[in-house]
Amino acid sequence: MVYRPDHTTPDHVMSTGAPDARLSNYRLERLLGSGGMGSVYLARDLALDRDVAIKFIAADQAADVSARHRLVREARAAAALDHPNICGVHEVIVEPDGRAAIVMQYVEGETLADALRRGPLDARLAISIAADVAKALVAAHQRGIIHRDIKPQNIIVTPDKQAKILDFGIARQQQIVAASPEAETMATLTSPGVIVGTPAYMSPEQAQQMPIDGRSDLFSLGAVLYECLTGRRPFNGRSSLEVLSAVLHEEPPEASIVQPQLTGQHDEVVRRLLAKHADDRFKSADELLGALRVLSETSRLEPGPLPRTGSRAWPWLRKSRWARVTVGGVAVAASIGLWSWRLPEGAPDPAAADWYRRGTDAIRDGAYHGARLALNEAIKAAPAYAPPYIRLAEAEAELDDPESAQRALLKVDELVPIEARLPVEHRQRFRAVRAMLLRDVDRAVREYELLAVERPRDPGVLLDLGRAQDAAGQSTAARITYEKALEIDPQYAAAHLRRGMILSLEGQTDEALAEFATAERLYRAASNVEGQVEALIRRGATLATRVDVQNARIALERARDLAADLQSRAQEIRARLGLSRLVTVEGRYEAAAESIRVAIDDALRASLETVAAEGLVDLFGPMVLGPRAADVDGYLLRAIQLAEKRGALRTAARAKLQRASMMVQNGRPAEALDVARGPLTYFQSNRYRSYELFALQIMARAHEGLGQYSEARALAEQTLQAATRVKDDSQIALALENLAGQANVMGILPEALEYRSRGLEIHRRQNDVATLAFDLTNTADLLIRVGRHADAARLLGEVEAGAAKGIDAYKQRGRRAALLRAVSATIQHRFNDARGVRELLPTKPGEQPDSNAQLAALVLQYGDAVSAARRPVSPAESPLAGSIASAFGKELRYWQLAGRLARSDARGALQGAEETMASQGATLSYEFEWRIGALGAAAARALKDVERERAFRERAQGGLQR
């Protein structure tokens, strides 16, 4: 409990009036001797200064003497903290019997808990309070002190809105005190072995009694900040256990949903603070402080309405963004350009300005490693010069190092009052860079648009604007912006590179490759190695989409070697990932997966999380085709987590699309449709044509899996037409495969064979080994079913030759090829040739047969029965095979019924044929209807059942004609 002499005095401070005679030294002595376990006493001692309160913490009943000593040590460590945002500890008193008292600073104000009873705080005040607490935690954590009980009741807000933390130095505790989830935590210390704190503010690791560090305090602060912004706790429940369950397993609604006036920046800071795993939070209170300062500046510097004078008025700009960009017949020298460097008032010597110019140009060229080096040189030449820090933050963000980016922006904040001393141009750039770091990309676009209005003939400013538009998902606008920059300076390598990147995503690969070649040539002429590497990586990736493996490998190997010489780690890893994709295309899955995993590990060690996320998406191919398909989903979920954490929306959408593809493959088409819709919308809105087509292909397969053949066919035909328009052979082949699959399921074999043959030729031309292995066996299957056994044998021979060479893709199709050879031989009544398929059957007790083995067993049984036809064979009843919704299920059912008929079990064959016909209804495959109808007619004829024979014959003839 809290001792309140008159039951009205707040529990954190006594009134500021005259000393209260009721709280004399006599009373203090009496409290010291009370031995109240876990009690907290706040009072004023007449013998002490009036601005000092005495807080007594009872450690009196701790049986463990070492625990008492630890309490005193930690209290004295807290006493060493001297920080304006920490309620100061003046003295630690230890009584002879081991009990301790802490003499603390008197602080005027109210607890944050009292303030929150009136509702949520103004967003700027909430950020300010969180920043004050973060400053205090920086000081405490540097001394190895973890508070362990950050909550509104332990934060005092002074009349001048400064926040101070109470109760540093509590004991290191291990278990939770049962309490009402809504109750304030009155006790700050109890016996060792007990965690004191309101469950709603505990970190998951603290609630689970796991080891904790300073990041536990950050979680608690995140819960406090959420409550300040929204007026409600992030985690609630009817009991302590329910609250703790919410802390461990639930995600609160975003703050901006609860309070619509908040923004995505607020959500992002709170999300990182409340991450369930400590590794996903801010790494330190210092890093959090940087983010809060940036967020505070964003709120403080929110621009008001722009003047409506002349052509610079904002409404005019929205209507015609490029009305002021006049393109005349001006000759532009590539070596000079039109980006005029002007030193702002009070700038340092020209050397720093020159390094700044080089760093700025390097950023625009995509040479972020070189930009970092140049900008650091500018800072060395003039440490108090602010603009290089702004651009350095941008380069660090592009290099996937947000911590360094935040430090650079904080340095700007230290050097200059932003609004007072930075020239307008640098102020806008500062806001734009900061907005990009906070992922407020719309704000960044707006700031760069303002710069473009001020400097419409500056191609560098246009490139900055295009980069922001691309990040905001405005890819069409970005492409137009780059084209405007090229109208001003046709020799601008970075603009060629950036335009090529968008053209590649739009599926215009020929134009994209031409742009990359131009960019590479210009970079090479300018001795810009990092820009040259970037152009080579992009060129290699685009060639890979066209399955031009040879030229893609040349480009990517050159990029890898140049990046290694340059020590540009991010580019080197990206080039290695590109080469690994080529290994997947070649069908060497194990080698591809291993090289991708190594690259991912290197990326994570270098804190290149976006690059690692890309690698995890790339793992999908070799893993889903290889022996570790079961692990794929975990990798994709990790990719989504890393990508969303870094704001890499395109990468996150790619990962989600791959998950949808995997769900279709695993027989979960409805889930696949739900997962694929989000990425499809994103890719369509951004005109990322190749990814959009891939999303439509997956959705077509999902509709097919749901038996919605008309929807599936419409989507497949739509993607085929679109892919043909943009000449994307890979997407054309995928659309043909979808159409072939649908025709196969419907039993229209000639149409399915035509589609498959066209896709096979595309993949053969591309030398796409990974896909070719599937094409060969799938096409051979169709050829066998239409009676073209010799043509099928040639294709199966290609698969067997590839497997003999040790190519993974062909080796994995080896069992399927062996089965198809046995089916072909059995259909031709070459039963001895088919018996080699016995090798596919399980050989160990309890071993489960795969799909090839299941079908092989039925084919062998049929062949054995036909071979023994001259000898009587007793019927061997067995239950019908399972669902015939899939093509594989249909095939099992056919061979099972054919085996019954071959064993002279005509009655069993007829009964099974009737059940099969009745179960399919409107979705019956034409080809399957023909085969089952013929089989049923033969069984009825053997039983001399003329009526049934006629009915089945009609069904068979109808299916055959269709």
Residue 100: enclosing H or E segment and its boundaries? Answer: strand 100-105
Amino acid making up residue 853: A
The upper half-sphere exposure of residue 59, i.e. CA atoms within 13 Å in the direction of its Cβ, equals 32
Residue 413: enclosing H or E segment and its boundaries? Answer: helix 402-415
Question: Rounded distance, CA 51 to CA 346, Å?
Answer: 47
Residue 202 · residue 208 · CB < 8 Å? no
Residue 112 · residue 155 · CB < 8 Å? yes
Residue 675 · residue 659 · CB < 8 Å? yes
Q: Rounded to 5 degrees, what are φ and ψ at 418?
A: -55, -50
DSSP at 86: B
C-alpha separations of 134 from 47, 74, 404, 852 in Å: 34, 20, 18, 62
SS3 state at 59: coil
Q: Rounded to 5 degrees, what are φ and ψ at 92?
A: -115, 115
Q: Please report where in the chains the tokens 């791959």 appear, as a residue.
A: 658
What is the signed CA dihedral for 234, 237, 239, 244, rounded to 10 degrees?
-50
Catalytic residue among 60, 132, 149, 361: 149
Token output for 300: 């403080």
DSSP β-bridge partners for residue 156: 111, 164
SS3 state at 43: strand
The Cβ of residue 929 has, within 10 Å, a number of other Cβ atoms equal to 20
DSSP at 280: G
Residues 66, 67, 73, 76, CA torsion sign: negative
Catalytic (active site) residue 149: yes
Q: Rounded to 5 degrees, what are φ and ψ at 6?
A: -115, 10
Q: Which residues contact 719 (CB under 8 A, 6 or more apart)?
A: 693, 696, 697, 700, 731, 734, 735, 738
CA-wise closest residue to 221 among 133, 158, 292: 133
Question: Rounded distance, CA 609 to CA 615, Å?
Answer: 10
Contacts 24+ apart (CB under 8 A), 955-959: 955/917, 955/929, 956/929, 956/930, 956/931, 956/932, 957/930, 957/933, 958/929, 958/933, 959/747, 959/924, 959/926, 959/927, 959/928, 959/929, 959/930, 959/931, 959/933
C-alpha separations of 725 from 501, 715, 718 in Å: 19, 15, 11
Token output for 426: 């640098």
Q: How far is CA 780 from the centre of its chain?
A: 40
Q: Please report where in the chains the tokens 């005029």 appear, as a residue.
A: 340
Question: Rounded distance, CA 414 to CA 345, Å?
Answer: 18
Question: Rounded distance, CA 694 to CA 943, Å?
Answer: 52
Residue 432 · residue 441 · CB < 8 Å? no
H-helix segments, 921-962:
926-942, 946-961
The Cβ of residue 831 has, within 10 Å, a number of other Cβ atoms equal to 17
3-state secondary structure 861-902: HHHHHHHCCCCCCCCCCCCCCCCCCCHHHHHHHHHHHHHHHH
Cα angle: 703, vertex 708, 710; to 5 degrees: 105
Token output for 20: 């209260």
**Annotated catalytic sites, by residue?**
149
